[in-house]
A and B are shown apart, each in its own frame.
Chain A
Amino acid sequence: MTKQDQIATTEHRIVGTRPVRPDGADKVTGKAVYGADFYLPGMLRGAILRSPHAHARIVSIDTRKAEALAGVKAVATNADFPRVEMDEIDAGEAGINVDRAAQMCLARDKVFYEGQPVVAVAATSPEIATAALDLIEVRYEVLPHVIEIADAMRSDAPVLHDDLDAKGPSNIAARLDSSTGDAEAALATADVVATGRYTTQAVHQGYIEPQACVASVSGDGQAQLWCSSQGAFMVRSVVAAITGMNLADLRVTPLEIGGGFGGKTTVYLEPVATILSKKSGRPVKMVLSRDEVFRSTGPGPGAEIDIRLGATKDGILTAAIVDMRYQVGAFPGAGAGAGVMHALGGYRIEHKRVTGCDVVSNMPSTHAYRAPSAPQAEFAVECAIDDIARQLGMDPIALREKNAVRAGDTSFSGTPHGQIAFMETLAAAKGHDHYSAPLGPNQGRGIAAGWWVNHGGESTAMISIAEDGTAVVATGNPDIGGSRASMAMMAAEVLQIPMVKVRPIVADTASIGFSMLTGGSRTTFATGKAVSEAAAEVVEILKARAAMIWGVDASRVEWRDGEAHCLADGRDEAPLGIKEIASKASKTGGPISVEKSVYPHDAMPTYAVHICDVELDPETGHVGVTRYTAIQDVGRAVHPSYVEGQAQGGAVQGIGWALNEAYTFNKEGRVDNAGFLDYRMPVASDLPMIDTLLVEIPHPTHPFGVKGVGEVPIVPPLAAVANAVSAAAGMRMFDLPMTPARIHAALNAAG
């Protein structure tokens, strides 16, 4: 009883179909080489000694006994990194601070969270490396710690860093303010106002593959890294900056990636493995355990959000004041910035004030998690809109339609929106049979919208035609969501040859031009543009070669059905296929190969509307999701199955965030649930099949109409689930996760 539907607008031969993915066979048969599957002869194994304290000054480190242990070949601390003063490099969506990234690899003077790496060891076996850790003596001066946002903002809170806040030492890392009109005055005259303080907890990306890498540094200073990441060029930038290498001396080969969701847009292990390899002269392999992943890699931030939203009795949103505090962890990380941008960006509201700040505290430094910082902000806004609809007795989708941004409206960046498709997405949701399906006892329905800005970014693609007419498509973007399939499909579409004649690969940093990492929902859009343009140039070359074979002008050759057709007057030539042209390439000018770099700035935001039904067990507080539909504006779905998969995966992650996922800390500030048993992501039996409806309003200036699709589906679920639970419970739920115990307590408090 599931449906995956499409509202399609354009037709292609291959784009829009559902071929078998080119990376599928190796993945389902276990042959795919992920980060931990890579081995080199003579390879050492690295291990990391981590801080047992949430906050402490490192008094001394004595590694002599560890170094003396037979089999230990290198020991490294932060002192082995050349000191970089707060240098920001352009290596992710938001840039990476080199000095802080280095301290998350190996701590310097202080440890800021339990699990922060302090000393690394490379030895001839994992057992020896682990035994060596026990021989290292680190003396700490334990400092008071602070975890929660409100505690960290108190004037008497322990301060993590002295240099973050321009107003004097505090844990506030950034203050943002975006205002239009007079929000206070407009709220005072609004017919209805929805008010609330909403909270969300830090949540981990939960990628199934822990970070892993092999580093090999040669005697002449050249180095190689094999690792799983969202961007080999990002790895190259950060590792070179932290270890003080020339970028061209470091070749990073991307291995298969087992999930990232933004979490692998930075590095934790690679600089350490590189330094250990440099010191030992041997390749060094390092693999994180799941426990280490939870304790030391960036979760998405928790947040505390106050909102006041005002509307007229006709349902026109007139005023909003939103104040957000993001729990960014030990160092400034994925914070309020995107939250301020996204909070009200989906609606026309004349008077608004959005403020946000980043609050550091003694938990792992947060990092990007799928539409970073938008789900928290839009959760509060979409719940408040739901409250307005209830107060007015208005249909919640109709209320959103009255206020949704549309083409021509000013976007957050100040430029007018192009042909965005929020209205079409809302209309598709309103017309979906789920929206009018009857509900049973103790059931509630919630809807929520969400948007995400999407990125463009730099991309390079290379297409080489082999002598037999088959094509290799290389890009610099790790395939995290089916991009090899979509690249091959777009190339095959342009070349007009079957997809099986196109082999897509992900190239290493020395073999293709620069490509920004896979993130920001940009790869199918931007890298797909590079592939499309490269393929179009290949077609021009093929036409020119055919013209040469025929001895006609290239303008008299047409490329149709994957063949060159001679249009020259009076010539009756049989068409030349790509195989025939390629086989004669050595006689017509040599290799047929095109590399194309692009940097599109016209990425368009996308919109999603989710409908969620839940059933509440009033005795236990348990929530079961009984039906869920994700309606999403996708531009053009190149491979609809993988677009639907993105919508489904984002919805599932958001449902987990809403219902059960949260970091818990003990009194000492140590993570108390560093594993999938007690960090409760949804399991398959927790969920119904997530239905999808793809709304295809093509991007007007992309070769295939592609818009970013990967991130926006995690935005609506927090509010969609919260609105559904609130409807079933008959009371507004403000705090995530809505665990059974929390709902039970709320129901009991309400009597």
Chain B
Amino acid sequence: MSYHSPTSVDQAVELLASRDDARPMSGGTDLLVQMRSGRLKPGAIVDIKGIDRAVGSRAQDGGFVIGAATPCTELLDDAALCAAWPGVVEAANLIGSVQVRNRATIGGNLCNASPAADSVPALIAAGARAVVAGPQGERIVAVEDLLAGPGWTTLGKGEFVLEFILPVREPGSADAYLRSIPRTEMDIAVVGAGINLSCDASGTITAARVALGAVAPTALLVPDAGAALIGSKLDEAALTAMGEAAKAACRPIDDKRGTIDYRIAMSAVYARRAAVIAYNRSRETL
């Protein structure tokens, strides 16, 4: 096995495209563990942390750009990002432990493609887009379109996620992410719910996106759930309708982390709770 630490996007793409068993690495908190357990035996590791654009967060065109290899804890240091996208930052900072998050990244969390990845529903709800670098240059893809199934993305040979773009934030907008775990930390989501919404000066919701994790082979964007909130002031009827839409979208499995029934029931509970948090946050920005 060889280890590479390219400093340019082109070098990284060339290395990744040069062999089928090359794997990009950012924090390595999934990759290295899978290698040690024998599940993965990559022939080459391409560490993208040496690429300037892959690390750090910055304001850009009124929104934000987050390097895909930025450690989750580093996001907490970007006050403007935390104010604009608290749900994305809190989701990224639920992964593993503090020590893990000092290495772990949202790029790795997305590309590891666990259906239960915490940052992914938050990114989807946020309308985040990924900048994918590859042999044909760069392309911009909605996060939800990168997910193919458990452990699988739609990335092609030689491609890797370089950056995330978070949209321009209007006043009256906020997001939130909550997850169900049996313990209080150091766990994997049984259900995750990300909500991003905007409301007008009267408190009426004008836009909403709802995304769920751990209830299907990939994290899900649930347009019906978002639509149920629009036009409401987050009254009980809207929350109930959103919860029902969330439950209807679930296609979970029974496994050691949760049952089908429990996951479906919790999708509504956690989506409701996250919606309340996002709504209250959005009102504070007005």
Contacts and interface: CB of A to CB of B under 8 A. Distances in A.
Contact of A672 (B180, B185, B187, B256): B256
A678 B262 contact: no
Interface in A695-751: 739-741, 744-745, 748
A57 interface: no
A437 interface: no
Interface string A675-696: 0011010110110000000000
A678 B257 CA distance: 7
Q: Is the interface of A mostly helix, strand, loop or mixed?
A: loop
A741 B183 contact: no
B256 A678 contact: yes
A741 B269 contact: no
Interface in B233-286: 256-259, 261-262, 265-266, 269
A620 B256 contact: no
B256 A664 contact: yes
A673 B186 contact: no
Contact of A683 (B185, B256, B259, B265): B185
Nearest to B261: A745
Contacts of A739: 182
Given A620-B269, A664-B256, A683 B262 contact: no
A314 interface: no
A88 to B, nearest CB: 37
Contact of A682 (B180, B183, B258, B261): B183
A741 B259 contact: yes
Contacts of B185: 683, 685
B262 A686 contact: no
Contacts of A682: 183
B184 interface: yes
B265 A744 contact: yes
A85 B24 CA distance: 56
A619 interface: yes
Interface residues of B, number: 19
A672 B256 CA distance: 7
A660 interface: yes
Nearest to B97: A683
Given A672-B256, A680-B187, A740 B182 contact: yes
B188 interface: yes
B187 A741 contact: no
A45 to B, nearest CB: 16
B269 A660 contact: no
* Binding site secondary structure of chain B: loop
Contacts of A660: 182-183
B256 A685 contact: no
A657 B236 CA distance: 38
A356 B181 CA distance: 36
Contact of A741 (B37, B184, B186, B258): B258
Nearest to B266: A620
B264 to A, nearest CB: 11
B192 to A, nearest CB: 14
A680 B182 contact: yes
Contact of A744 (B183, B187, B256, B262): B262
B184 A685 contact: yes
Contacts of B259: 741, 745
B269 A680 contact: no
Given A683-B185, A745-B261, A740 B180 contact: yes
Interface string A605-636: 00000000000000111100000000000000
Given A619-B269, A620-B269, A744-B265, A683 B186 contact: yes
Nearest to B272: A619
Contacts of A748: 265
Contacts of A685: 183-185
Contacts of B258: 741
A579 to B, nearest CB: 49
B29 to A, nearest CB: 13
B256 A740 contact: no
Contacts of B256: 664, 672-673, 678
Interface of B: 37, 180, 182-188, 190, 256-259, 261-262, 265-266, 269
20 contacts: A619-B269, A620-B180, A620-B269, A622-B182, A664-B256, A672-B256, A677-B186, A677-B187, A678-B257, A680-B183, A682-B183, A683-B184, A685-B185, A686-B183, A740-B180, A740-B182, A741-B190, A741-B259, A741-B262, A745-B261
CB-based closest 4 A-B pairs: A741-B262, A685-B184, A664-B256, A683-B186
